[in-house]
Amino acid sequence: MPRIVTYRRIVFAGAMLCAMWLGCASAFAADQSKGDPQAGRSLVYTCGGCHGVTGYYNAYPNYHVPRIGGQNYQYIVDALTEYKKGERSHPTMRAQGRSLSIQEIHDIAAYLSSLRK
Amino acid sequence: MKSVHLIALLACTFAANAFAASATDASNKPIDIKVLAVPCEACHGKDGNAIADQYPRLAGQYHDYLAQALREYRSGDRQNPIMGGFAKPLSDAEIDALSRYFAAMPSKLHDLSHDEQGD
CATH no. for residue B58? 1.10.760.10
Is the CB of residue A63 less than 8 Å away from at least one CB of chain B? yes
Q: Cβ neighbours of residue B102 under 8 Å, at least 6 residues apart? A: B37, B40, B44, B48, B58, B59, B61, B63, B66
**Left, alpha or beta for A90 (phi > 0: left; psi -120 to 50: alpha)?**
beta
- pLDDT, residue A116, reads 87
Give the pairing of strands A63-64 and A57-58.
antiparallel
Report the distance separating Cα A64 and Cα B68, nearest Å: 9
Instruction: Give the ipTM.
Output: 0.76
Instruction: Answer whether residue B117 is part of any domain.
Output: no
Task: Assess contact for B94 and B32: CB atoms under 8 A.
Answer: no
Residue B59 lies in a domain: yes
Q: What is the DSSP letter of B119?
A: -
Enumerate residues 6+ apart whose C-beta is below 8 A from A103: A35
Q: What is the pLDDT of residue B22?
A: 47
Of chain B, the end-to-end C-alpha distance in Å amounts to 37
C-alpha distances in Å from residue A20, one per residue of A9, A10, A16, A23, B74: 16, 15, 6, 5, 50
Q: Which residue has the higher pLDDT, B112 or A72?
A: A72
Question: Given pLDDT bands bounded at 50, 70 and 90, which one contains residue B73?
Answer: very high
Mean pLDDT of chain B: 84
Q: What is the dihedral of CA A26, A29, A33, A36, to 10 degrees?
A: 80
Interface contact B68-A63, CB threshold 8 A:
yes
Of A64, A70, A112, the CB nearest to B64: A64
| pLDDT exceeds 90 at position A23 | no
- Residue B113 counted as domain residue: no
The beta-carbon neighbor of B112 closest among A51, A73, A75 is: A51
**Does B22 or B70 have the greater pLDDT score?**
B70
* Distance separating alpha carbons of residues A2 and A4, to the nearest angstrom: 6
Name the residue facing A42 among B52, B68, B119 (closest C-beta): B119
Quote the minimal CA–CA distance from A94 to chain B in Å. 13
Sequence-distant (≥ 6) Cβ neighbours of residue B36 within 8 angstroms: B22, B23, B26, B94, B97, B98, B101
Give the number of domains in chain B: 1
From A42, A72, A116, residue closest to B56, measured CB to CB: A72
Nearest residue on chain A to B78, alpha-carbon basis? A88
Domain range for residue B97? 2-108
CB contact under 8 A, A52 and B56: no
Does B116 reside within a domain? no
Mean pLDDT along residues B7-14:
54
B115: in domain:
no
Instruction: Give a yes or no: residue B39 inside a domain.
Output: yes
Residue A12 confidence (pLDDT):
62
Distance between CA atoms of residues A81 and A88, nearest Å: 9
List CB contacts (< 8 A) between B111 and chain A: 51-56, 67, 69
Whether the pLDDT of residue B53 is over 90: the answer is yes
- Answer whether B23's CB lies under 8 Å from B85's CB: no
SS (H, E, C) B46-87: CCCCCCCCCCCCCCCCCHHHHHHHHHHHHHCCCCCHHHHHHH
**Residue of chain A with shortest Cα separation from B50:** A72
Give the residue from A63, A108, A111 with the most B CB atoms within 10 Å of its CB, the best one to mutate.
Answer: A63
Sign of the four-CA dihedral B44, B46, B52, B57: positive
Residue type, B96: D
Q: Residue B36 domain-assigned?
A: yes
pLDDT band at B25 (very low <50, low <70, confident <90, very high): very low
Residue B17 has pLDDT above 60, yes or no: no
B23 inside domain:
yes
Q: Which residue of A has its CA nearest to B112?
A: A52
